[in-house]
Chain A
Amino acid sequence: MLIQFTLNGRPVSVEAPAHLTLLTVLRDYFHLTGAKEGCSIGECGTCAVLVDGELVNSCLMLAPKVAARTVLTIEGVSPADGSLSDLQEAFIAYGAVQCGFCTPGMVLAGEALLAQTLTPTREQIRTALAGNLCRCTGYQQIVDAIAAAGAQRKEVN
C-alpha cells in the first residue's frame, strides 16, 4: 500500500506491504539504519524514533500507522550543516557512548524528554530512559549528558 508521511522534515511516500513494521520500512525502504533491531518485541528501545514528537518503538508500530504523521529518526536530529546537535555533543563530552548500539534511541529519548522540560531531575531522566536498554554504560553518563544539554538549552532561551 502507499504510505505518505513526513520523514526527517521531508514529505515522503512509499509503496510497501501493510504488515511491515515502521522499523523494517525505515531500514529496508529508506535505508535509514540508525534505528536498530535489538529485540523486535518492544523491550529494548534500540529501534526508537519520534512519531509526532512522541518516543515509539518502531519494531512494534505497523508502517501504515504513520500515514500523514511526522517521523523523526536519528538521521534527522543533526542540524542540516552536518554539525552535531547540542545533545549529541553532550553525549560525546560526557562519555555517554560506548558500543553505540543504543545511542540513536537514547538521543531520541533525550530529545523527547527535553521537549517537555529543560530541567528534568535525574529521576525524571531515568524514568524517561526506562524503555531504552543500554548494556555498556550503566546509564550514568547518558543521564549526565541529557541533564547538561537541558541546562544549556535553558540558558540559551
Chain B
Amino acid sequence: MAGRQFIGKPARRVDAADKVTGRTRYVADYQLPGMLYARCLRSEWPHAVMTHLDVSPALNVPGVAAVITSADFVDDGRFGFPVRDQYILAHERVRHVGEAIAAVAAETPEAAAAGLHAIRCELEPLPAVFESAQALAPDAPQIGPDRSDGRHPNFLHSEIVRLGDPDRALPQCPVVLDAAYSVAQQEHAYLETEGALAIPTPEGGVVVYASNQSPFINREILASVLGLPADRVRVIQAPVGGSFGGKDDLNYQASAQCAALALKSGRPVRMTFPREESMIASYKRDAMHMRVRLGALPNGDLQVCKFTGRLDSGAYASQSVFTSWRAAVHAMGAYRYEHCHVDIDCVYTNNGYAGAFRGFGNTEVCFAIEQAIDEMADALGQDPLAFRLRNCLRLGDETAFGQRLEESVGLAECLEAVRKASGWDEKRAAYARQPAGPIRRGLGVAAVFHGTSLGAEGADYAASTISVAEDYSIALTSGLTDYGTGAATVFTLIAAEELGTRPERIRLLRPDTNTSLESGPTVASRSTMLGGNAARLAAQNLRQMLDFAAASLLNCPQNRLLRVGEAYIGPSEEPATWERIVDHARSLGLILSAHGRWSAPHIHWDSQAGRGSAYIAYHFGAHVAEVTVDMRTGKTDVTGFWAAHDVGATIFPQGAMGQVYGGVAQGLGYALMEEARYEAGYLQATNFDTYLIPTAKDVPDITCILLEKPYSQGPFGAKNVAEPAMVPAAPAICNAIAHATGRRVRDLPANLERVLLGHALSHSDGGLACKIGLARPR
C-alpha cells in the first residue's frame, strides 16, 4: 500500500523471540512457593444420578489441603450463556463421561490423585441417548433442563433461513439433487492442554492466570460462582498454546475450581490437564447430520436450496445456540437462489458436549453444501469451478437471507485465482483421461463465505488503551486475546502506523481484567477488525496530543508538520525527535494516555422470519485440492493445495499466511483422519497415538493467495481470516477424491475404509475403550 510504513509489510511477531527461546511461560510452567496441585474426580458414566458424595475422607489423605464439590459454589456453581445448564462441578447428576464431580488440591500431584481415590462417590447409571436422531423420542431420557414451552427437554434450539417456497419450486426444477452428509465430532488438539493457576489475595479475593480465550468472561463467571464482587477477582491472560475455539468453558471450570480451592486453602493452586483428561473432558466440534436438496435449470442456474441439519450438542448447550445460527446463515453456501429454506435443529445427547471450534458451524455445513454443489455440477455435466462462478455471490447481489452485499466481495476473484494457480483446466482435463489403474489422481474445488465477527449474535465492540511510559516506550492494551493467531502483532502494527513510531517501541501488555478494557469475547475471528479498530482509535487519540505538542514546540500549525521516521519536522526544517515531542507534551501538562473503543455498525436479524443482515461483512475464499488415491488401500494423499482468500487488506502478511496454512492443515485432518468418536458415550481416542492429526508429512506445500477487496469499516480495510481459512478445505479434498475415484464420501472423515468401501467398518469391538483412568480403579 502506498505511503504505509508497517501495514502489509513483513514484520516480526511481537511474542516470537520469547517463543523461539523457550522463555514464554505457559500456565504449566509456573511454579510458585507453597503452590498446591489440583485434580478433578470425573464421571465414568455417561448419564447417572449421584446417590452419595462424601469428600471428607480425602482430607485425611496426607498432603491433601482442600477438596470441593458443587456445594462450595453460589447456586451450586451453575453457569453458561445463553443457556445456564452447566456446573463448575456436577450437581446431583452427571450427563457425560469425564464430567467433573469434585476437585482436590494437595502438596503433590500424587497426593491429589490419592485424595481423589479416597472420595466416596456413588453414581447410579440412568438410561442414556447417544444418537441425535433418537434424542427427541417421546421416551428418551431427559438430558436437557426443564422447558416451559412443552417441547421435549432434549430439544435445545433451532434456527432458520427463509426465502421463497422451495417445497413448491423444487419439484418443478428440471435437475434436482437430494443427498445426505454427516460430519463427526472433532477434537481441537491444541498442543497445550487446559490449565489455570489461582492465587488468593490478602483482601479475600483471587487472581487467576488462565490460558482462556476471554478473560472478562472468565471473571464474570468467577465472580458469580464464588460470590465475590468483580473487583476482588482479577483474571490475567496467560500465553495460550493453541485454542481454535477450544479454551472457553472447560478453562472457566478449571479456573473456578482452582479459585475455590485457593480461597479454601489460602494457597496458590494450579491445575493442568494430562492429555487423556483433556481429550475426555473437553468439548468438541459438534457432529452434524445434514440433508441437502438442490434444484437447477439445465443451463446451470441454481434455483432452489433446501437444507436441514441436526446438530448434536452433547450433554450441554455451551455455544451450540450460536453455532446453529452461524450454520443456518451459511448453510446454502455463497450462491444466489430463488428459493431457499434452512432448518438447523440442535439436541442434547449423553455424548461429550460440543462447543466452539474454528468455523463455528460453517465448517460443518460447508462440507455438505460444497459437495452438493459439486454433485449438482456433475448432474448438469458442467465443470464444478465454472458452475460456481456462474452462481456465486457477487457485488450487489442479495444473499438467500436477504442481505445486499454492497462492498468487499471477492469470491469470483478467489475462484479465478485458484483456477489459474492450480492449473485447473489442464489438470481436470488430464485426470479425466487418466488410464485405469490403482493410483488415481483428482482435483477438487470448494468455496466459502464467512461472516466476520459476531454479527447479529451479540453486541460487537472492543476497546484498547495506549500510553507513553517514562522510558518513551508505548504501552498498548487490548481486551482481546492473542492465542497464537498473531492478533497482538496486528494491534501493534496498526498502532505504530497511526502514531508513526517504530513497532519495537510498542509493548502490547497481556490482557488483564484490572488493566485492559472489556472487549467481549475473543471468538469469531473478530480480533483484527474489532481489536484492530480499537487500537487504531486509541493510537489516533494519542497522536492528536503529540501532534498538538509538536505544533507547539515547532511553532507552526499542525497541518505544516511533517514526519521523517519518528521525528517531527516543522517549517524551520529542524527535526525534533519523538522523545523531545513527548517531553514537550508533558511540559504542557498533557497526560499521554488515551483509549479507543470501536463498536460495529448495528445490524438486524429477524430469527422468526429467518431473514435479515447477519454480519457486517463477509470473508470470501476458494480452495483447490489435488489428491492421489491408492485404490487398493483407500489411502489418500493430498499432493497439492491452493488457497485464495479475500481478507480485505493484509496487515501482518506472515501472520495471515500462517492462518491460511494452519487452517488448511486442520481442514485436511478433518477431511481425512480426525474423528472424535463416541461409543455409547465413551470417547474412543484419547491421545495422539489414536487421535491422529496431520504431521509435516501429511500436509503438502500450500500456495496461499491473499486478495484484497477492502472493507470500509475494517482497520485499513481488513476483514478476518482465521476461521474461513479452514472451512472449505475438507470439501475441496472430498471433491478431489470424488474426481479421482468416482466415489463420493459423504461422511467425514474420508478414512481408508470410507474411500475404499464407501462406508465405515463397524467398530462394535470398541465398546468402552475410553482410557478413563481419571478417578479411581473400579
A residues with CB within 8 A of B: 27-28, 31-41, 43-44, 46, 73-75, 77-78, 84, 88, 91-95, 97-104, 107, 122, 125-127, 129-143
In the assembled complex, B355 has its CB within 8 A of some CB on chain A = no
Contacts known (A44-B191, A129-B695, A141-B654); A100 close to B21, Cβ less than 8 A: no
Q: What string of 1s and 0s marks CB contacts (under 8 Å) between B644-657 and chain A? A: 00000000011101
Instruction: Give the secondary structure class of A's interface.
Output: loop
Q: Would you call A103 and B693 a contact (CB within 8 A)?
A: no
Contacts known (A101-B26, A137-B661); A46 close to B654, Cβ less than 8 A: no
Q: Which residues of A contact B697 (CB under 8 A)?
A: 126-127, 130
In the assembled complex, B761 has its CB within 8 A of some CB on chain A = no
Q: Would you call A135 and B25 a contact (CB within 8 A)?
A: no
In the assembled complex, B24 has its CB within 8 A of some CB on chain A = yes
Instruction: Give the secondary structure class of B's interface.
Output: loop
Q: Which residues of A contact B31 (CB under 8 A)?
A: 28, 31
Within 8 A of A (CB), among B187-217: 188-193
Number of interface residues of B (CB under 8 A): 58
In the assembled complex, B20 has its CB within 8 A of some CB on chain A = yes
Closest to A140 in B: B661
Q: Which residues of A contact B240 (CB under 8 A)?
A: 99
B484 interface neighbour in A41, A84, A136, Cβ under 8 Å: A136
B residues with CB within 8 A of A: 10, 12-13, 15-26, 28-29, 31, 188-193, 239-244, 274-275, 483-486, 653-655, 657-658, 660-666, 687-689, 693, 695-697, 699, 701-702
Closest to B704 in A: A140
In the bound complex, CA of A106 to CA of B658 (Å): 16
Given contacts A33-B28, A98-B658, A129-B696, 12 further A-B contacts (CB under 8 A): A33-B22, A34-B22, A35-B22, A46-B191, A74-B22, A94-B654, A133-B695, A134-B191, A135-B190, A138-B702, A140-B702, A141-B658
Q: Which residues of B contact A131 (CB under 8 A)?
A: 695
Contacts known (A39-B688, A46-B191); A95 close to B654, Cβ less than 8 A: yes
Q: Would you call A78 and B701 a contact (CB within 8 A)?
A: no
In the bound complex, CA of A50 to CA of B485 (Å): 29
Q: Would you call B21 and A130 a contact (CB within 8 A)?
A: no
B195 CB to nearest chain A CB (Å) = 11
B25 interface neighbour in A33, A35, A37, Cβ under 8 Å: A33
Q: Would you call A36 and B19 a contact (CB within 8 A)?
A: no
Contacts known (A43-B688, A141-B658); A99 close to B190, Cβ less than 8 A: yes
B22 interface neighbour in A43, A73, A133, A137, Cβ under 8 Å: A73
Q: Would you call B693 and A99 a contact (CB within 8 A)?
A: no
Q: Would you call A39 and B21 a contact (CB within 8 A)?
A: no
In the bound complex, CA of A92 to CA of B14 (Å): 9
In the bound complex, CA of A40 to CA of B689 (Å): 11
Q: Which residues of B contact A135 (CB under 8 A)?
A: 188-191, 242, 244, 662, 666, 693
Among B12, B24, B243, B702, max chain A CB count under 10 A is at: B24
In the bound complex, CA of A103 to CA of B193 (Å): 16
Q: Which residues of A contact B687 (CB under 8 A)?
A: 39, 41, 43
Q: Which 10 A-B pairs have the closest CB atoms?
A: A34-B22, A95-B654, A99-B484, A100-B19, A101-B241, A138-B661, A138-B665, A74-B22, A43-B688, A33-B29
Q: Would you call B22 and A75 a contact (CB within 8 A)?
A: yes
Contacts known (A100-B241, A133-B695); A88 close to B654, Cβ less than 8 A: no
